[in-house]
Amino acid sequence: MWKKLSKQEINEAVFSALRQNRHYKHEHVLGIPVSHLDDKVFYDNFEMLKDAPFLSTMVDNPNHIGCHTLGESEAFFAGTQAIERELVAMCAEDIFKGDEGEFDGYVSSGGTETNIQAVWIFRNLFNREFGAKNEEIAVICSDDTHYSGAKSANLLNVNYITVPVDQETRKIDVKILHQTVAEAKARGIKYFAGIVNMMTTMFGSVDNPQDYIDAFQANDVKFHLHVDAAFGGFMYPFSNNNNPVNFQNPYITSIGMDAHKMAQAPFGTGIFLIRKDYMQYALTEEAQYVSGMDMTLVGSRSGANAISVWMILKTYGYYGWTEKINMLLYRTNWLCKKLDQLGVEYYRDEHSNLVTMKSKFIPTELAQKYALVPESHTKENKWYKIVVMDHVSIDALNLFLEELEQSLAQTDEGVLV
Ligand SMILES: *Cc1c(COP(=O)(O)O)cnc(C)c1O
């Protein structure tokens, strides 16, 4: 498991990496259409930046275009690319239990890109290896899946199939899943990209990959599984270490996680992880000017993003991160106990920091005041969620609960009319 580093060790590692990059100012870099941040606008005072490795990387502005865990990469930014490689390995091996050196990956713009990247790779693999036509391919996932699953199917011109979940347990209805796959097969769909959720956006529910594997095998169809851990990737593996959603499961081909959610990194820090020998299916051979070519969806991207996530993980260390997650769980348990006392009904996975309350208990004004997020802004809304993050302290939760208690006391049966 990765170790915690001191501030000084982190500074040294990042500044040493920056020195290994080609520097736009101190060297003659004539051929690339990128530069350091504009110093008429952005502060580049050496004294101020010398203890600020992330800001220094922002100002230096290395471009991490491409994927750096395989083949060649742009030599200009080799120093910070090496840090990104280490980050990918920490996530694939320490968090998701993959074997050492067996994974590729990169820092994407976020969970949306990560999901599209996975479906893109699977679609091209089905096309190339089996001669599959796009109409014979489907993305399949639960109704609670993030809408980027639908985006990916739309962009990649493949079918999109969803499976209902139980409204109370948020579990996939396994019988309907089997039927749905059988019906799709009868319509000529023979190749499936299954999206397994590790914490859905609205409920924090976690799918069982075996449900999909059973349904695909029973129907004798080809498939690959991608785990959408955009929300849960920096939470669930720590709060429920024995869960079955990881690379020990040979059917899980790729996993995506967002550092800009639970890990409090800047936006633009999705992390895409995939077994070796799959990235090539997203190779764009026309990308001739990029050394090592490009196997990512995004193209140019900031090297500072990778540095930020690496710094966060190294500041805590694996066990320090586990402690931080446990503090969030402690607060969430506290919140749930209070909701139980008030008789407010909610959904929560016991290892999650997300509590989704039935809207009939929550006055609209209170939801607005405390910025609770509704399940739907357009249809009739049935749920409001609280996400227990670093800034969501017990004191803050308590203010909300006191007001909630008052408004429930004014109603007949603890339910708003
Ligand atoms: C937020 C989220 C996404 C999309 O991630 P972005 O970083 O906003 O692109 C995908 N899946 C899940 C489960 C999410 O919570």
195 CA distance to ligand 1 middle (Å)? 13
Q: How far apart are CA 244 and CA 241, in angstroms?
A: 9
Residue 215 Cα to ligand 1 midpoint, Å, equals 26
Give the torsion sign (CA, 183, 189, 192, 197). Answer: negative
- Which candidate, 279, 303, 266, 252, places its Cα nearest to that of 117? 279
Report the pocket of ligand 1 as residue ranges, CB < 6 Å: 110-112, 146, 148, 200-201, 228, 230-231, 258, 270
Stretch among 247-261, 277-291, 395-409 having the lowest mean pLDDT = 277-291
User: For residue 229, which atom of ligand 1 is closest to its CA?
Assistant: 13
From 145, 258, 349, mutation site for ligand 1 pocket: most ligand atoms within 8 A of C-beta: 258
pLDDT bracket for residue 286 (50, 70, 90): confident
Residues in the chain, overall count: 417
**188, 194, 200, 202 alpha-carbon torsion, rounded to 10°:** -10
CA distances to 170, 386, 389 from 346, rounded to whole Å, are 12, 10, 18
Q: How far does residue 146's CA lie from ligand 1's centre (Å)? A: 6
CB of 245 within 8 A of CB of 215?
A: no
Instruction: Give this prediction's pTM.
Output: 0.96
* pLDDT reported for residue 406: 95
Structure tokens at 56: 């220094």
What atom in ligand 1 is closest to the CA of residue 113?
A: 9
List of residues 6+ apart from 301 with CB closer than 8 A:
63, 64, 65, 107, 108, 109, 268
Dump pLDDT digits (tens) for 259-284: 999 999 999 999 999 999 999 999 98
Q: What is the pLDDT of residues 240-250, one digit of tens each?
A: 999 999 999 99
Cβ atoms 247, 103 nearer than 8 A = yes
Q: How far is the CA of 108 from the centre of ligand 1 (A)?
A: 12
CA neighbor of 226 nearest in space, from 153, 311, 301 = 153
User: Rounded to the nearest whole angstrom, what is the distance from the C-alpha of residue 98 to the centroid of ligand 1?
Assistant: 23
259 CA to centre of ligand 1 in angstroms: 10
CA of 236 to the centre of ligand 1 (A): 15
Task: Give the C-alpha separation, 270 to 272, whole Å.
Answer: 7
Q: pLDDT over 90 for what percent of the chain?
A: 87
pLDDT band, residue 414 (cuts 50/70/90): low
How high is the pLDDT of residue 28?
A: 85
Tokens 């090297």 found at: 303
- Angle, alpha carbons 113-146-182 (nearest 5°): 105
CA of 258, closest atom in ligand 1: 7
DSSP 92: I
CA dihedral 213, 215, 220, 223 (to 10 degrees): -50
Nearest atom, ligand 1, residue 197 CA: 13
Q: What is the pLDDT of residues 76-91, one digit of tens each?
A: 899 999 999 999 999 9
Closest-lying ligand 1 atom to the alpha carbon of residue 199? 13
The residue whose C-alpha atom lies closest to atom 4 belonging to ligand 1 is 111
Query: Taking a C-beta distance cutoff of 8 angstroms, is the pair 58, 116 a contact?
Result: no
- Give the residue from 294, 299, 301 showing the smallest Cα distance to 269: 301
Six token digits for residue 351 = 């290892």
pLDDT digits (tens, 9 = 90+) for 190-210: 999 999 999 999 999 999 999
Please give the Cα distance from 210 to 313 (Å, whole number). 30
Task: Check if the beta carbon of residue 107 is closer than 8 Å to that of residue 270.
Answer: yes
| 379 has pLDDT over 90 | no
Model confidence at 416, pLDDT cuts 50, 70, 90, reads low
What the chain holds in terms of domains, given with CATH numbers, is: 77-279 (3.40.640.10), 318-407 (3.90.1150.10)
| Ligand 1 atom closest to the CA of 200, numbered from 1 | 13
| DSSP states of 252-316 | EEEEEEETTTTT-PPSS-EEEEEETT-GGGG-BTT-TTSTT-B-SSS-S-BHHHHHHHHHHHHHH
Q: Give the integer Cα–Cα distance in Å for 71 and 67.
A: 8
Mutate to test the pocket of ligand 1, among 112, 170, 236 (most ligand atoms within 8 A of CB): 112
Residue 318 has pLDDT above 90, yes or no: yes
Cβ–Cβ under 8 Å, residues 61 and 37 = yes
Helix (H) or strand (E) holding 117: helix 111-130
Which residue out of 114, 231, 245 has the highest number of ligand 1 atoms within 8 Å of its CB and is therefore the one to mutate? 231
Weakest mean pLDDT among 112-121, 286-295, 323-332: 286-295
Distance 377 CA to ligand 1 centre (A): 18
CA of 266 relative to ligand 1 center, distance in Å: 14
Q: How many angstroms separate the CA atoms of 361 and 384, rounded?
A: 10
With beta carbons less than 8 A apart as the criterion, state whether 81 and 64 touch. Answer: yes
Yes or no: say if 149 and 155 are a contact pair by the CB < 8 Å rule.
no
Instruction: Pick 303 or 409 by higher pLDDT.
Output: 303
Q: Count of alpha carbons within 13 Å of 322, Cβ hemisphere only? A: 14
Q: Is 41 helix (H, G, I), strand (E, B) or coil?
A: coil
Q: How far is the CA of 386 from the centre of ligand 1 (A)?
A: 16
> What letters, b where the CB count within 10 A reaches 16 and e where it falls short, cover 295-310?
bbbbeebbbbbbbbbb
- Closest residue (by CA) to atom 10 of ligand 1? 111
For residue 260, which atom of ligand 1 is closest to its CA?
Answer: 7
* Atom 5 (ligand 1) nearest CA: 111
Give residue for tokens 């670093």.
390
- Count Cβ atoms below 10 Å from residue 184 Cβ, excluding itself: 19
Distance in Å, CA 112 to ligand 1 centroid: 6
